[in-house]
Amino acid sequence: MTSRIALALGFSLAVFSAGFASAETVWLDDLNLASAEQGWGEPHKNQSVDGHALTIDGKKFERGFGTHAESTLRVNLAGGAQSFSASVGVDDEVNKNPASSIEFIVRGDGKTLWKSGVMHAGDAAKNCDVDLAGVKSLVLEVSDAGDGISYDHADWSDAKFATVEAKSFTVIGEPKLVQVAPYILTPPAPATPRINGADVFGVRPGSPFLFTIPATGDRPMKFSAQHLPRGLKLDADTGHITGFLKMKGEFTVTLRAKNALGTAEKKFRIVCGDQIALTPPMGWNSWNCFAGAVSEEKVKSAADAMVKSGLINHGWTYINVDDYWQNNHDSKDPTLRGPFRTAQGHIVPNSRFPDMKGLADYIHQLGLKAGLYSSPGPWTCGNCTGSFGYEQQDAADYANWGFDYLKYDWCSYSPDMESLRGNSTNYPMSAGSWSGSTPSGQAELMKPYAIMHDALAVQKRDIVYSLCQYGMGDVWKWGDQVGGNCWRTTGDITDTWKSMSGIGFNQDKAAPYAKPGNWNDPDMLIVGQVGWGNLHPTRLSVDEQYTHISLWCLLSAPLLIGCDMTKLDAFTLNLLENDEVLALDQDALGKEATCVINDGRLRVYEKELEDGGRALGFFNLGVEPLKLDFKDFAKLGLAGKQHVRDLWRQQDVATVNTTSGSLPLTIPGHGVMLYKLTAAK
């Protein structure tokens, strides 16, 4: 059902009338500017954002509006203005700081009427002169020109309207997002067999092999595989491929899935070599839902739900236990209290995790993989036992238990600990016992990750290595040198638009470093019932959730579901089982999308795909629907005729001639249109 119900149409509040000088001229500064939205500071009348006289390249202006990118001022003209004029530029108060770059934009009734082009500090003021005949609603915007808002002090100097008669212009507050009821876009998978998931899988020689053929369609289903390399075997009923490969090499296998209605076939590449995680890991992690309340039963239930919900048939694989499987040094909860390590130095799981090997075995027999969490300091972020000084033992224990993934945090580590390494009697056993020196350079940041990597590398097991140090020292530039398969690029996400969009739309800097085996991690998914021990439905709107999943897939991000898997509703499930959307994330080329167009509310993200196609995400960062006829195909590097497929709806929508044609788009507030473009023959 694609019915969309508007539940509430909210506009925030304040409406202010103008008092103005004459019937012919209405000065912008005579309107109430307090409702302007801006990225920093307060809106100022007749002054710059820092409270100085408005000055652009040495020229002073008596009147105008001093603001800061990203800035939006909405004026209701009710068709009463003839024109708008201003002299715009960066205010001299930024002292020619090179970080300052902005663009002034005038929009009328949803159309772009004028743009200044990118302006820098020291540029002479530009004249803005815009015809407003008939325009009812005017928006004055200042964008950060795509490089962040630092030093973006913007002046709309001498800004005024020409009008034929005295009209009451009003400034209106930022409209609020219209909340819509969940609407499902993805058609159900057909009853006939279909093999989904990545086209490639990496394994190291000698490591236990486990891959479950992800296939949708009615059960019972029989699986077979042609040209499966020696050492591997397939269970025809479950689709689980297990065994070992002794030698390096590449093998192209034909996978088949058959049910009463038909047979599906897919070519699948197994690469036995040094690299694993050839596509971003997909699975579940306990943190965003359970945080410190995780237990073995909850993890097993999540694994069961991964199978029962059918998500396993779309490539979802890992079941990862985050913090709090170890004992804790300051919790009042007796289930978390106990010895940290045995006399031999083995880590002791807390009483909620009585059998780590049993847990990993349980997850494996379902065809899934198991993950764990630790920290390079003596304590994790939640004050549980960390790995400092015991890295080899911990890595060996993880491998012996059968874990396949390690998320390795940063908490409580500091470089000055290194002098104590090897002298375990001096390891601190209480938080705060370290002076906590901060790392001064890349070598110090790399050190603890390299130590754990070396410990993992000698295990006869493939363990995906996920670094979690929030992007310090541009981890994307060196994460692969310490064996990282993925690395967090940011602090922790939470379930708000500000958090998700703030992270998701700021990943370009790291994008060139993504490749098979190395992924930038903008943190885990926040759809469904989340809450860090206090479950509630995600606070993201429906369209914000489509944006979240679309963007994470475009960014080739590790996809770790963060919700309670036993409480998946139809909408959330639908978001997570669109194979065409997930295929962007799992594309074997491993290129991360970047923002190719940043125009006011519109962001266009483009990702190159292995088959020569391009994935395009058209995102609307504004709260009102954005309607446009998209023509800028040259900016996307696209030529000729292109087939356009809507990936959420799984429908072909058009064939566009990129030189003369256009693509009509209506993008919901905070929402997305996600397309794949393929050259037409």
Interface residues toward ligand GLA, by CB under 6 A: 287, 322-323, 373, 380-382, 409, 468, 492
The number of beta carbons lying within 10 Å of the beta carbon of residue 215 is 25
Instruction: Report how far residue 542's alpha carbon sits from residue 183's, in angstroms, rounded to the nearest whole number.
Output: 8
Which run of H or E residues covers position 488? Answer: strand 486-488
- What minimum distance in Å lies between the beta carbon of 473 and ligand GLA? 16
Q: How far is the CB of 523 from ligand GLA (least distance, A)?
A: 7
Query: Minimum distance from CB of 352 to ligand GLA (Å)?
Result: 15
The bridge status of strand 262-272 relative to strand 249-259 is antiparallel
* Rounded Cα distance, 164 and 403, in Å: 75
Q: Which helix (DSSP H) or strand (DSSP E) does residue 656 occupy?
A: strand 651-657
CB of 229 to ligand GLA, least distance (A): 37
Q: Among residues 35 and 380, whose Cβ is nearest to ligand GLA?
A: 380
Q: Which is nearer to ligand GLA, 225 or 493 (CB)?
A: 493
Measured from the CB atom, the residue of 289 and 381 that comes closer to ligand GLA is 381
Shortest distance, CB of residue 287 to ligand GLA, whole angstroms?
5
User: 535 with 271: CB under 8 angstroms?
Assistant: no
**Whether 169 contacts 80, CB under 8 Å:** yes
Of residues 217 and 522, the one with the C-beta less far from ligand GLA: 522
409 is catalytic: yes
Q: Which is nearer to ligand GLA, 291 or 653 (CB)?
A: 291
Nearer to ligand GLA, 410 or 505 (CB): 410
Token code pair at residue 91:
């205010």
Tokens of 99: 């970080």
Residue 41 to residue 93: CA distance in whole angstroms: 14
Kindly state the helix (H) or strand (E) to which residue 298 belongs, with its residue range: helix 296-308
Q: How far is the CB of 186 from ligand GLA (least distance, A)?
A: 28
Cβ neighbours of residue 275 under 8 Å, at least 6 residues apart? Answer: 202, 516, 517
Q: Rounded to the nearest whole angstrom, what is the least distance from the CB of residue 629 to ligand GLA in the complex? A: 42
Q: Residue 416 CB, nearest distance to ligand GLA (Å)?
A: 21
For residues 308 and 317, is the Cβ–Cβ distance under 8 A? Answer: no
**Residue 492 is a catalytic residue:** yes
The residue nearest ligand GLA at its CB is: 381
**Residue from 454, 492, 599, 632 carrying the catalytic annotation:** 492
Q: Which of 586, 514, 513 is nearest to 269 (CA)?
A: 586
Q: How far apart are the first and last CA of the chain?
A: 34
Compare residues 407 and 591 and give the one whose CB is closer to ligand GLA: 407
Closest CA to 276 of 560, 23, 615, 518: 518
E strand or H helix at 605: strand 602-608
Tokens of 160: 């005024």
Residue 450, SS3 per DSSP: helix
How far, in Å, CA of 27 to CA of 313, rounded?
62
Cα-trace Rg, the chain = 28
Dihedral of alpha carbons 20, 26, 28, 32, sign: positive
The CB-of-500 to ligand GLA minimum distance in angstroms stands at: 15
Contact yes or no for 99/121 (Cβ under 8 A): no
Find out whether 400 and 208 touch, Cβ atoms under 8 Å. Answer: no
Give the Cα separation of 581 and 610 in Å (integer): 15
**Selected catalytic residue, list 92, 409, 579, 585:** 409
Q: Which residues are catalytic?
A: 409, 492
